[in-house]
Chains A and B, each alone.
Chain A
Amino acid sequence: MNAAAPVLQVRELTVKRGARVLCEALSFEVRPNDCCVIIGPNGAGKSTLLLTLAGLLSPERGNIEWSGAPLSSLNALERARHRAFLASQQNDVFSATVFDAVLAGRHPHLAAWQWEGVDDVAAAETALTHLKLEPLAMRDVRTLSAGERQRVALAAMLAQAPSLYLLDEPASHLDPTQQTEALDTVLAHARKHRAAVVMVLHELHLATRYADHVILLGDKSTNGKAQTGSAAEMLTTERLSALFGAPMVTLEGDALKSFVPARDQEPLIPDP
């Protein structure tokens, strides 16, 4: 793999689910230290696109390259050493300690018969510390709250030490301070290792806070054609209003910015 190449390069990507075209001829690249945020209404295909970028679903057409290597040239284990993927939900049926769930991130770095060694344990330990999970280390993952479980999954990704982080709604289940603390941690860790981050977000204040680039997916007014560009260019009331099909307004203060749906003039359900 080539260190100078973009961590993720997408050319003319078409993704379909059934007969529905989710994005057509989408091209973009994500360089080391970059953060790219995917935004769109429910059912727009954000998760499907992310799974495709992760190499877990095949695209209809188009090329995906990771650090200059075509996805098709990499086997499952080589892929896992390059990218980490956070699913939108963690659903545990078997018991495991938090520590073991984080240590699982080391799996792709071990040889077939190799057991986790001191280095792997140290990596897991560091990841636990970064996400402030030490007090939970010996807890069974099935007893955690959804927010705690989400942080465990993020810690496992740090232990995996990929060059490409793909996160599906990483802020879901987290309280407001945990959202920024956890994402600050993941992004700082990624930048320290010259990795890149692509994430699906519904929280627009987090998008304005973290995104360098934005992909808007599922805009009916553009016939579903995805729009890509810098965060400043994409995150405007006009574009977001068109994307979500409802008027959006800007909230600003303290060097932060967000967008929320405008207040309806008439209440939808009239007062009796």
Chain B
Amino acid sequence: MPDFTASPPFHQRRQRAWAILSALAALALAVLLLALLTGSVKIAFSDLWAGLQGHGDDNTATAIAIVRDLRLPRALAAFACGGLLALAGAMMQLLLRNPLADPYVLGVSGGAAVGALLSWLIVMPWLQTPLAVLGALFSALLVWFGARHRGEVSWETGTAPRLLLTGVVVAAGWGALIVLLLSLAPDAQLRSALTWLMGDLSGAAMPWTAWTVLALTLLLIWPQARNLNQLAFSNVHAEALGVPLKRTQAWLYGLAALATAAAVVTAGCLPFVGLIVPHALRLLLGNDQRILLPACALGGGAFLVLADTAARVLVAPQALPTGVFTALIGVPVFLLLLRRA
């Protein structure tokens, strides 16, 4: 019998967790820096450094302006959205006890999209964010109450996948509304609407909302990580081990919906991030939520920043829609993961 007490995987779990998270944080910083330095205008690290310290010529001033006003907000928005979607995906996978669930199964993205499209249709683009938020939250509530059965939300997949079914049906409804709104939209707005639907980071301002929600979500769910580990085995198992089941499920649902809504409102419906990143990280790092949840925030952020940078650079100066890029990476990776599972 191997001596578990002496073997490193069990004795040093906490140390291992911190090592993994520090490495991921370093990776995330490196990726962010890469995103700031690459693009159709090449910027040397020395120029950036000189400009940041306040001395430099006119050339560096332009460089600083490009980085500060264009690349930094975009990279930060990509990071926050990637982290939010991966975190929401990890939470939905636990809640529905399905390792391949997606944060969009609740129809939140569809609700937000309909809100955003409405604002363009009534030619009040300044209403885009509030209407998208309203649409997302309305959809989350609709699915929550729609999935109730005798006053309780039914969570089990397999025997009674009510939540999943309700979400899929509501999302299909939103899909129909989106097509209706697109067919009514003036041609001038059709192109930007389509890009937004597939996920678009080009117009991002400083993403304060997304970062706030990301920090809040992680702060509220991370302390419950060991409870969530029990939930991964089964609901009865978790409850018998002292996990307040209903409260935990309500938190998971609420935070996943909020995180998805914040991401969708910031950058549209970026596909596959919330599905692929938690699943891949689980294969790499194991299924301990104490490591997996913060790893999703960091890894999801880094993944989307990389994908967005690639989308900007590959056929520069033309930028590809980021969502097309995450889908093009996501589909083969997903098929590969599915074969391994």
On A, residues with C-beta under 8 Å from B are 54, 56, 75-81, 83-85, 87, 90-96, 99, 101, 104-105, 107-108, 110, 112-113, 115-116, 118, 121-122, 124-125, 129, 134, 137-138, 160
Contacts and interface: CB of A to CB of B under 8 A. Distances in A.
A99 B233 contact: no
Report which residue of B158, B223, B239, B290 has the largest number of chain A beta carbons within 10 angstroms of its beta carbon.
B239
A121 B5 contact: yes
Contact of A115 (B13, B232, B282): B13
A125 B10 CA distance: 11
Nearest to A133: B1
Contact of A125 (B4, B241, B243, B287): B4
Given A99-B4, A122-B5, A107 B233 contact: no
Given A93-B98, A95-B287, A104 B1 contact: no
Interface string B247-285: 000000000000000000000000000000000001000
B128 to A, nearest CB: 38
Contact of B4 (A90, A95, A121): A121
A10 to B, nearest CB: 18
Given A76-B243, A93-B97, A101 B4 contact: no
Nearest to A101: B233
Interface of B: 1-2, 4-5, 10-11, 13-14, 97-99, 158, 223, 226, 229-230, 232-234, 236-237, 239-244, 282, 287, 290
A91 B229 CA distance: 15
Nearest to A99: B4
Contact of B233 (A83, A104, A113): A104
B232 A96 contact: yes
Contacts of A110: 226
Given A91-B234, A112-B223, A137-B2, A84 B240 contact: yes
B242 A77 contact: yes
23 contacts: A78-B242, A80-B242, A83-B240, A84-B240, A87-B234, A87-B236, A90-B233, A91-B158, A93-B99, A94-B99, A94-B282, A95-B287, A96-B233, A99-B4, A104-B237, A104-B241, A112-B223, A121-B10, A121-B11, A124-B4, A125-B4, A134-B2, A160-B241
A107 B228 CA distance: 11
Given A122-B5, A124-B4, A54 B240 contact: yes
Contact of A56 (B10, B97, B236): B236
A105 B5 contact: no
B275 to A, nearest CB: 15
Nearest to B225: A113
Question: 8 closest Cβ contacts across the A-B interface?
Answer: A80-B242, A77-B242, A85-B240, A134-B1, A108-B242, A94-B232, A76-B242, A107-B241
Contacts of B158: 91
A187 to B, nearest CB: 20
A216 B257 CA distance: 47
Contacts of A92: 233-234
A129 B1 contact: yes
A87 B99 CA distance: 22
A189 B239 CA distance: 23
A81 to B, nearest CB: 7
A261 to B, nearest CB: 31
Contacts of B287: 94-96
Given A104-B233, A104-B237, A121-B10, 19 more contacts: A56-B239, A76-B244, A77-B242, A80-B241, A81-B242, A83-B240, A91-B158, A93-B98, A93-B99, A94-B232, A99-B4, A99-B10, A104-B229, A104-B230, A107-B230, A107-B243, A115-B290, A121-B5, A134-B1
B241 A116 contact: no
A125 B99 CA distance: 29
Contacts of A116: 10, 13
Contacts of A94: 97, 99, 232-233, 282, 287
B341 to A, nearest CB: 9
Contacts of B232: 93-94, 96
Contact of B242 (A91, A107, A138): A107
A99 B3 CA distance: 12
Given A54-B240, A80-B242, A81-B242, A118 B234 contact: no
A105 B5 CA distance: 17
Contacts of B242: 75-81, 107-108
Given A76-B244, A121-B5, A85 B14 contact: no
Contacts of A83: 240
Nearest to B288: A100
Nearest to B237: A87
Nearest to A141: B233
A118 B5 contact: yes
A108 B241 contact: yes
A152 to B, nearest CB: 10
Report which residue of A56, A77, A107, A115 has the largest number of chain B beta carbons within 10 angstroms of its beta carbon.
A107
A93 B10 CA distance: 23
B226 A107 contact: yes
A137 B13 CA distance: 17
Contacts of B13: 115-116
Nearest to A96: B287
A168 to B, nearest CB: 10
A231 B219 CA distance: 54
B314 to A, nearest CB: 35
